[in-house]
């Protein structure tokens, strides 16, 4: 079918992802090709020392994003979206959304970006013998308990952003296993929250006398491909206030952005991995076996079908780069140059290729917020140089891209070095890879590994979410997610692989040495500024 017939017949599939700076919707056809998209830009706010988005911003953002999709469909095909084959919701993982029995939000949404949970994460890691990151939902809950926040006694339901939106659209309190694995540990043998650790948490907080048990307030965990409800009448109005979209559309389990990244890069099999680079960055390596021991900078999560994954998550990636590019956009406007922002990005990124392999001694710290991997509690973006630094635009841009992937390198050195994890293929996706051959080449040097980027690299998470929704309605009996992706989605897909050069690897390692030496300067900045 052509796209218009696909949409009119209700056979298109919709994936929506709530990223940190953009909410994006991707509509795909029966061949999983994007045929329309919508988006809405938003930004988190620092309120009372905590990063948050308001509930009003969440729903305004969703409705504006969907309205943008409708406008794109009308513009290209001259039709309205009346029905869909399936819908999937994904969002940034982790964080804290707690509701009482009357379904009221107890405190403002606390996002993954908050690093105020150090005491809770440390204690839970010891109790569980498992690395509990600062941003995980259970770390947030326990920190609230330690801080004696009065709302905790009233908690009736705890979920993630994707789980919350899915709940309001379908009435179902469920979560995909990948997103659930960012709330608390998953038992790989059951595909559910780890029962022993749930019991350990209940024992830990028993002295507080809460009326709830942890298992009672968590969402139900579902694997990829499971039925997760349908769009209710109320949900249809929430999503499309125009009234064109009819209720009854099936939903797949809501997922986190890490899981959609794995799907979008066909990296759900053991010994495959991907790097997602946007506002934050993370690498995901699907494991053949458990790690030898817990590591503070490596999270153990799962694929959307429940396989264990080693995740290195960095709070900061492209936000500081974006800020610098915006300066150049503003400068061009002052000169009367009407360059599109994407062309400014492309020009500056390509120019970075001519920089020195070690950036001439220039070092960039992209810390808009705290960075747990390097132990930095708050963000103070900085560019540091000495009088001897070769300070030019190429080195400046190259240092900015290096800075965006440097923390990822630090975490993966543990994974590939100490743990001797093996990987056959690493695929990059996300906005930083839109300019061909730049961030991909630098990441290859950082990880000292070939990096592949597919033609769909720029589609990212919302496309991956649409693929999960397609899997719900298209999978054959007993067909695994990996087989579905191999045979139905990525068969014959083309991509470009870049292998690291010795010069780039040596240069990045020199940059990394300077980067590590300068971390006390970054730490001092958080205390002084």
CATH of the domain at 304: 3.30.420.40
Instruction: Give the structural domain span for 492.
Output: 265-317+411-498
Strands (E), 449-512: 451-454, 495-498
Helix (H) or strand (E) holding 26: strand 22-28
Residue-wise pLDDT for 14-43, tens only, equals 999 999 889 999 999 999 999 999 999 999
Q: Is residue 311 part of a domain?
A: yes
| CA dist., res. 157 & res. 112, Å (int) | 18
Helix extents (H) in 335-417: 341-352, 393-413
Mean per-residue pLDDT, 450-470 = 85
| CA dist., res. 6 & res. 498, Å (int) | 37
pLDDT of residue 471: 98
Residue-wise pLDDT for 91-141, tens only, equals 999 999 999 999 999 999 999 989 899 999 999 999 999 999 999 999 999
Say which residues have a Cβ less than 8 Å from residue 484's Cβ, sequence separation at least 6. Answer: 471, 474, 475, 476
| CA dist., res. 433 & res. 277, Å (int) | 8
> 106 φ, ψ to 5°?
-80, -40
Q: Is residue 417 part of a domain?
A: yes
pLDDT of residue 425: 86
pLDDT band for position 459 (50/70/90)?
A: low
Residue-wise pLDDT for 340-356, tens only, equals 999 999 999 999 999 99
Residue-wise pLDDT for 430-446, tens only, equals 789 889 999 999 999 99
142 neighbors 120 (Cβ within 8 angstroms): yes
**Per-residue pLDDT for 8 more than 90?**
yes
Mean per-residue pLDDT, 321-328 = 96
- What's CA 34's distance to the chain center, in Å? 20
**Per-residue pLDDT for 460 more than 90?**
no
Q: Is residue 440 part of a domain?
A: yes
Residue-wise pLDDT for 243-264, tens only, equals 999 999 999 999 999 999 899 9
> 162 φ, ψ to 5°?
-65, -40
Residue-wise pLDDT for 353-379, tens only, equals 999 999 999 999 999 988 988 999 899
Q: How many CB atoms lie within 10 A of CB 243?
A: 8
Residue 74 corresponds to which tokens in the numbers above? 């009308």
- Taking each helix axis as running N to C, give the angle between helix 55-77 and helix 161-170, from 0 to 180 degrees, rounded to the nearest 10: 70
Residue-wise pLDDT for 371-427, tens only, equals 988 999 899 999 999 999 999 999 999 999 999 999 999 999 999 999 999 998 899
Q: Is residue 463 part of a domain?
A: yes
| CA dist., res. 129 & res. 196, Å (int) | 12
Transcribe 176-242 into DSSP letters.
EHHHHTTTS-EETTTTEE-HHHHHHHHHHHGGG--S--HHHHSPEEE-TT----B--HHHHHHH-TT
Q: Is residue 85 part of a domain?
A: no
**Per-residue pLDDT for 458 more than 60?**
no
pLDDT of residue 431: 81
13 neighbors 33 (Cβ within 8 angstroms): no
pLDDT of residue 468: 98
**Per-residue pLDDT for 429 more than 90?**
no
**Per-residue pLDDT for 319 more than 80?**
yes
Question: Residue 457: which of 499, 488, 412, 494 has the closest Cα?
Answer: 494
| CA dist., res. 461 & res. 137, Å (int) | 21
Name the 3-class secondary structure at 514.
Answer: helix
Q: Is residue 279 part of a domain?
A: yes
Residue-wise pLDDT for 263-289, tens only, equals 998 999 999 999 988 888 889 999 999
**Per-residue pLDDT for 457 more than 60?**
no
Looking at residue 296, the DSSP 8-state letter turns out to be T
Q: Is residue 23 part of a domain?
A: no
pLDDT of residue 206: 98
**Per-residue pLDDT for 53 more than 70?**
yes
CA distances from 443 to 23, 113, 135 (A): 26, 23, 25
What is the domain count for the chain?
A: 1
Q: Is residue 309 part of a domain?
A: yes
pLDDT of residue 278: 82
Its sign, for the CA torsion 196, 197, 202, 203, is: positive
Residue-wise pLDDT for 476-527, tens only, equals 899 999 999 999 999 877 679 999 999 999 999 999 999 999 999 999 999 9
């Amino acid at each position: 079918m052509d796209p218009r017939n696909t949409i009119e017949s209700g056979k298109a599939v919709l994936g929506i992802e709530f990223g940190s700076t953009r909410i994006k919707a991707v509509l795909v056809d029966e061949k999983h090709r994007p045929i329309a998209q919508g988006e809405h830009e938003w930004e988190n706010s620092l309120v009372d020392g905590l990063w948050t988005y308001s509930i009003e911003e969440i729903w305004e953002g969703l409705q504006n994003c969907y309205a943008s999709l409708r406008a794109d469909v009308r513009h290209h095909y001259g039709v309205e979206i009346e029905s869909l084959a399936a819908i999937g919701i994904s969002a940034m993982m982790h964080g804290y959304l707690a509701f009482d029995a009357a379904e009221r939000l107890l405190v403002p949404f606390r996002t993954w970006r908050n690093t105020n949970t150090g005491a809770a994460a440390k204690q839970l890691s010891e109790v569980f013998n498992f690395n509990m990151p600062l941003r995980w939902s259970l770390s947030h809950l326990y920190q609230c308990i330690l801080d004696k926040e009065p709302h905790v006694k009233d908690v009736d339901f705890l979920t993630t952003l994707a789980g919350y939106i899915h709940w309001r659209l379908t009435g179902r309190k469920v979560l995909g296993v990948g997103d659930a694995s960012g709330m608390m540990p998953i038992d790989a043998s059951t595909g559910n929250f780890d029962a022993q650790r749930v019991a350990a948490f209940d024992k830990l907080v028993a002295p507080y006398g809460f009326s709830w048990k942890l298992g009672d307030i968590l969402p139900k965990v579902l694997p990829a491909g499971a039925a997760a409800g349908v769009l209710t009448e109320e949900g249809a109005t929430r999503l499309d206030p125009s009234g064109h979209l009819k209720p009854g559309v099936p939903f797949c389990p809501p997922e986190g952005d890490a899981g959609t990244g794995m799907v979008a890069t066909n990296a759900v099999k053991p010994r495959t991995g991907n790097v997602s680079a946007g506002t934050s960055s993370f690498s995901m390596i699907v494991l053949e076996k458990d790690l030898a021991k817990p590591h503070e900078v490596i999270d153990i999560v799962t694929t959307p079908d429940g396989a264990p994954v080693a995740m290195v998550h960095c709070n900061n990636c492209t936000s500081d780069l974006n800020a610098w590019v915006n300066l150049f956009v503003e400068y061009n406007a002052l000169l009367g140059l009407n360059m599109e922002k994407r062309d400014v990005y492309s020009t500056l990124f390509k120019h970075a290729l001519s920089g020195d392999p070690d950036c001439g001694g220039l070092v960039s710290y992209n810390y808009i917020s705290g960075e747990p991997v390097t132990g930095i509690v708050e963000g103070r973006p900085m560019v540091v140089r000495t009088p001897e630094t070769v300070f030019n635009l190429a080195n400046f841009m190259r240092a900015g891209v290096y800075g965006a992937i440097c923390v990822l390198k630090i975490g993966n050195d543990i994974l590939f070095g100490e743990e001797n994890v093996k990987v056959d293929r690493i695929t990059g996706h996300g906005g930083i890879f839109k300019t061909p051959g730049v961030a991909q080449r630098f990441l290859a040097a950082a990880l000292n590994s070939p990096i592949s980027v597919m033609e769909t690299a720029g589609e990212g998470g919302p496309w991956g979410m649409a693929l999960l929704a397609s899997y719900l309605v298209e999978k054959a009996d007993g067909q695994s997610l990996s087989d579905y992706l191999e045979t139905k989605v990525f068969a014959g897909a083309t991509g470009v692989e870049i292998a690291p050069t010795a010069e780039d690897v040596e240069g990045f390692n020199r940059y990394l040495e300077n980067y590590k030496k300068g971390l006390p300067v970054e730490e001092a900045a958080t205390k002084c500024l």
